[in-house]
Structure 1
Amino acid sequence: MKHRGRHRRRRRGRALRATLAGTALALTAAATMISASQATVDDPGPLRPVGVSTEAGRLPLTEERVPGRWLDRLASRMGRPVGVGAVLEGADLPLREAAACTAPEKRSLPVEPAATRAYCFGASDTRGWRPGAVTTSGDADDDGRWAENRVILSGWTRGGGAGSLDGPDPGQGLAKVAFVDANDPARLRYTWALLAVPVDGGRDYRGLASPLSGMVWYQDKLLVTTREGDRDALYVYDLDRIQRATVDAEAVGRVRGGWAAHGSRYVLPAVGSYTLPGGGDVPRPATVSLDRSTAPDSLVAGEWVPADSDRPTRLWRYALSRDPARSGLLATDSAHRAEPVEAYESETADLRGVLAYRSAWYLDRAAGSPGGHGTLWRQDGEGARATECGTDATRHCWSGGSGALSYWEETGEVWSQSGRMLFALPLASVDRAVGGSTDE
């Protein structure tokens, strides 16, 4: 039996799916306009399995833990850590429903299949920040809730343009996460938590300086992709170790009179990380998601390869630990290494999001030009398919500012974000649009 921890609740998925089916949005025609000048994307063909012991397929991640005494020292100075429920109690920033969003904002939504739910963040609240990763309580627990709450986590990075064509930018600044209270689909509200790294033996912390291009919330842990150093691959955060900021200031860390988090109300100090092997041209996971269709549950990862590269994109699958004492962490060997259990190569370049479910992999390829639309491929060992849309049958039908993908299995929805838009649509609608099925 899969371990779900103390947050397991009885499944409510069937009734919820019926409710959501009746709330599909009639999104404006602005989201259906695409440029006829966009060329059809080349078919990437089938996925190619790669041996996990070969140079192409092997990518061990070494687990390193922040010393417990560092975290305890930080908590003793900042105050007792809080959990997700306490953070949601302070969620007072509204997400607007699609009808209240601007036409330019809605133009970044998928064309085919269309989003059935969509919301936008406030411009003043996100100006100067770039959206990236998304994960939900549907990843965290199989009943779709964390305790009694339905939650969406939306990752943002300070700096960088909303439609960068150059992949994750390691020179970007701070990273923060919006904790979204999604209990009422008609009234989503959020608050911010800054991602941080303990320093000086836990006497202080610094901000995580990395784009959030991938993020998975599994059990009580949040795993995020990072490009801080040559070897950093993933940082690990504990959702039961959220600290309150006590000073509202632009600074980060210990300040006169308390603790600051660049204006965020909360701070998440890292509890660990997964590092890459040293030396050589080592690939780096740029986007991640959770796959609950495997046993045990698994984390899938994809690298970013520029569109003009002549080498394939590599994809990996890592098993998640079944040990209750290692909740939310990757399965590791005696040397604390997590080795991939599967690896593939794909001709889908400029990858911004990856999702795997049963036999299918869904790969989100970025738009080829600013303001354009991306392509969502469904790929497996037999071939690849993408939806077509527009009068020229283009495959540029996915969201404009392509982002990470997250599957909420309980509701059957895929969540992503594009620009300031946070949106969802049924995975079944993707499969219908490409003429396939996940029931394989």
Structure 2
Amino acid sequence: MKHRGRHRRRRRGRALRAALAGAALALTGAATLISTSQATVADDPGALKPLTRSTATSALRLAEERVPGPWLDRLSSAMGRPVDAAAVLAGTDRRLREAADCPRADRDALPVEPAATRAYCWAEADTRGLRPGAVTTSGDADDDGRWGGKRVILSAWSRGDGPDAGGTARVAFIDADDPARLSYAWALLAVPVDEGRDYRELRSPVTGMVWYQDKLLVTAGGPDGGTLYVYDVHRVHRAGVDASAVGRVAGGWSAAGSRFVLPAVASYRLPGGADAPRLGGISLDRSTAPDSLVASERVPADHDRPTRLWRYPFSDDPARSGLLATDAAGQAPALEAYETRTPEVAGVLSYGSDWYLARAAGDPDGRGTLWRQDTDGARAARCGADGTRRCWSGGASPLSYWEETGEVWSQSGRMLFALPLASVGRSLD
């Protein structure tokens, strides 16, 4: 498999790649008129406020903990030699449908402005009882946008309702080489237990996910809240028993219906305490040197405190591929941090000096707002006859920037969609 440990550095603020050829999708659901109850203009969050006090940034330090090597070796010995992401992609057995073939109710989850230029939907039967989570791509994994020569999208889903619900988390490995034929296979996210003699499910909705080099970093809420789990895409196990159980079962190993299992190889934890944030959305920023992981917390709209945004640099040590830079104490300090008055942040993206925040809708049928903020102010797209800023999708709305193509990927409801980052700038009021 082709993989470059060293990534070409691009200068901050370089010109974005041209948007995909062709006109924007004629998505009838996205053109639905916005109801009066959604038309109230969201409060302008204003400029980002840098956090410079050491007491403010110390709460953002992550403590790294590796899963012991003997645990992983013991699991491999019992389950068989691990495979890698290429084997998962070779076993895709399910299809996503293009937007034109998706139900109107599903297309209603797409943003109004800026409009998606590519969109796909999941089959209801394959996602029943699941809630969508974060998205990442091979554009994060390698700066040429491919992994093993393929374009790949990873989409996280979990069981349970509410931001703090537990449940079984899984990831769809999507072969996106052919834009007209996206196929995928499921892989369960697991955590080794009993010194590697078994594994349990990741009991969490996945609110953020970044595939960087050979590692997949996943934020965990719910019972596993406050933790950033790390998975190795070269360490994927096959589950030979098709059952609803998770872990060792009679006759072998089961992954709740998935054919593949990723056991965690490491984790990062926040210090905890009353003032500590809970990790929400994350994404990769390739406009920094070194590349960095940006993070946000999700503060409810009825809480009278700002939302924190921050970033961690990735390690440039070849022996620590895909891991964060840590100090002598094994902790990853935040490189920079800000406060914003934007609540309910469901997705975060940083590129150059701009931060993009997807604010979730205030009700299940409403629409969210996509803000672009910096230290000078904030702007958002307007749509509808009354000029409301609630033009974005209302659901999970993670944000992942595929630098090689210039696209932002997200998902809401059963819709997976993309649009050029340049179109966000054009849509701002």
Residue 180 of structure 1 aligns with which residue?
174
Q: Are 1:146 and 2:140 counterparts?
A: no
* Aligned-pair CA distance for 1:20: 2.7
Matched residues in 1 for 2:166 and 2:407: separation?
A: 30
Pick from 391, 398, 402 the counterpart of residue 404 of structure 1.
Answer: 398
1:281 is displaced (CA, Å) by: 3.4
- Does structure 2 retain, via aligned residues, the 8 Å contact 1:379–1:385? yes
CA contact (8 A) 1:154 1:179 kept: yes
Deviations 1:84-131, CA, capped at 9 Å, x for gaps:
111011112000000000001000100000000000011000000000
Cα gap change, 1:6 to 1:354, in 2 (>3 Å): closer
Give a deviation string over 1:328-382, Cα, whole Å, max 9, x none: 0000001000000100000000110000000100001011112111000000011
1:97 aligns with 2:98: yes
Whole-angstrom distance in 1 between the partners of 2:251 and 2:6: 37
Query: What number of residue pairs does the alignment pair up?
Result: 419
Q: Could you tell me whether the CA contact under 8 Å between 1:36 and 1:392 is conserved in 2?
A: no
Match of 1:37 in 2: 37
Equivalent position of 1:13 in the other structure: none
> Partner of 2:344 in structure 1?
350
1:5 is paired with a residue of what secondary structure?
coil
Cα distance in 2 for residues equivalent to 1:211 and 1:409: 26
Report the Cα distance in structure 2 between the residues aligned to 1:17 and 1:287, rounded to whole angstroms: 25
Return the offset for 1:22: 2.5
Shift of 1:34: 1.9
Taking the aligned partners of 2:118 and 2:168, their CA distance within structure 1 comes to 29
Q: Which runs of 5+ in 1 are unaligned?
A: 9-15, 436-440
Distance 1:23 1:30 in 2: 15
| Corresponding residue of 1:11 | none
1:31–1:108 CA contact under 8 A, matched in 2: no
CA positional deviation for 1:434: 1.1
Q: Which amino acid aligns with 1:384?
A: A
Cα distance between partner residues in 2 of 1:269 and 1:258: 16
Q: Alignment partner for residue 303 of structure 1, among 288, 297, 303?
A: 297
Q: Is the 8 A contact 1:353 1:403 kept in 2?
A: yes
Name the residue aligned to 1:63. Answer: 64
Q: Please point out which of 246, 249, 253 is paired with 2:247.
A: 253
Say whether residues 1:212 and 2:202 are aligned partners.
no
2:94 maps to amino acid: L
Give yes or no for contact 1:205–1:269 (8 Å, CA) kept in 2: yes
Q: Give the deviation of 1:32 after TM superposition.
A: 3.9
Identity percentage of aligned residues: 70
Q: Which residue of the partner structure matches residue 268 of structure 1?
A: 262
2:82 — aligned with what?
81
SS in 1 for 2:319: helix
Amino acid at match of 2:377: G
Give the aligned residue type for 2:33.
M
Moved more, 366-375 or 41-50: 366-375
- Cα distance in 2, alignment partners of residues 384 and 283 from structure 1: 23
**What secondary structure does 2:74 align onto?**
helix
Superposition pairs of residues 187-336 of structure 1, within 5 angstroms: 187-227=181-221, 229=223, 232-336=226-330
Q: Secondary structure at the match of 1:213?
A: strand
TM-score, length of structure 2 as denominator length: 0.94
> What stretches of structure 2 of length at least 5 have no aligned partner?
9-15
**Residue 332 of structure 2, aligned match among 338, 362, 385:** 338
Q: Which residue of 1 aligns with 2:13?
A: none
CA RMSD of aligned residues (A): 1.8
Separation in structure 1 between the aligned mates of residue 421 and residue 220 of structure 2, nearest angstrom:
27
Cα separation, partners in 2 of 1:140 and 1:365, compared to 1, 3 Å? same
> How much does 1:36 deviate?
2.9
Aligned partner of residue 170 in structure 2, secondary structure: strand
| Contact kept in structure 2, 1:98 and 1:118, CA below 8 Å | yes
State the secondary structure of the residue aligned to 1:20. Answer: coil
* 1:438 matched residue in structure 2: none
Partner Cα separation in structure 2 for residue 186 and residue 98 of structure 1: 10
Q: Which moved more, 1:129-138 or 1:223-232?
A: 223-232
Q: Summarize the Cα distance change of 1:49–1:200 in structure 2 as closer, same or farther, 3 Å threshold.
A: same
Alignment check: 8 A CA contact 1:317 1:340 kept: yes
Give 3-state SS (helix, strand or coil) of 2:145's partner.
coil
Structure-2 change in CA distance of 1:30 and 1:109 (3 Å): closer
Separation (CA, whole Å) in 2 of partners of 1:389 and 1:228? 35
TM-score by length of 1: 0.92
Helix, strand or coil for the counterpart of 1:72? helix
Which shifted more, 236-245 or 34-43?
A: 34-43
Q: 1:292 and 1:415 mapped to 2: Cα distance?
A: 15
1:230: Cα distance to partner? 7.4
* Distance of 2:330 and 2:223 partners within structure 1: 20
Corresponding residue of 1:366: 360
- Kept after mapping to 2: 8 A contact 1:52/1:342: no
Partners of 1:156 and 1:399 in 2: how far apart? 17
8 Å contact from structure 1 (residues 288, 301) kept in 2: yes
